[in-house]
């Protein structure tokens, strides 16, 4: 139910998942509905018992591979979007960044400013920061 192998699930009992209840007659562990719900909640929130963070990895066959990104000629984002990106980059610590640098970075990276603003901003930040570090080292 939680998408883990049986072995991994039992490894995490006590640290991430609650202990099961044991049947007196058969001495087998079982999880009543309230413990099952608690286990599903731990998996959903990535917080174990006691609020301890837990990192779960997906099983190999369940992982969907990302489709390869095609580099296409992207249009230059409009001025308002460039201004937003410049403001975002300045708030991240790139004080002297200009709209021209942003447009050049977008062109070199082959991305447009239209989708996934956070990812685009991160890529542009790293690109410009790398360029600044290279020019400072020279």
Q: What domain count does the chain have?
A: 2
Range of the domain at 104: 79-137
Lowest mean pLDDT among 11-15, 16-20, 44-48, 70-74: 70-74
Q: Is residue 28 part of a domain?
A: yes
Whose tokens are 């599903």? That residue is 40
Q: Is residue 72 part of a domain?
A: no
DSSP helix/strand/coil, 47: strand
Q: What is the pLDDT of residues 55-87, one digit of tens each?
A: 776 555 544 545 555 554 545 456 677 788 888
Phi/psi of residue 2, nearest 5 degrees? -95, 0
Q: How confident is the model at residue 131 (pLDDT cuts 50, 70, 90)?
A: confident
Same domain, 17 and 54: yes
Written as six digits, the tokens of 44 are 């959903």
Per-residue pLDDT, 61: 52
The whole-model pTM stands at: 0.41
């Amino acid at each position: 139910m939680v998408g883990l192998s049986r072995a991994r699930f039992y490894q995490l009992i006590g640290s991430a998942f609650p202990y099961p209840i044991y049947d007196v007659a058969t001495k087998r562990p079982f999880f009543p509905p309230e413990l099952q719900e608690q286990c599903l909640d731990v998996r959903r929130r990535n917080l174990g018992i006691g609020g301890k963070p837990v990192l779960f990895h997906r099983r190999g066959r369940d992982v969907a591979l990302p489709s390869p990104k095609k580099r296409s000629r992207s249009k230059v984002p409009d001025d308002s979007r460039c201004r937003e990106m410049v403001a975002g980059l300045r708030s991240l610590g790139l004080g002297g960044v200009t709209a021209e640098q942003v447009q050049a970075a977008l062109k070199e990276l082959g991305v447009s400013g239209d989708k996934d603003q956070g990812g685009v901003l991160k890529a542009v930040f790293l690109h410009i920061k790398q360029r600044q570090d290279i020019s400072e080292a020279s």
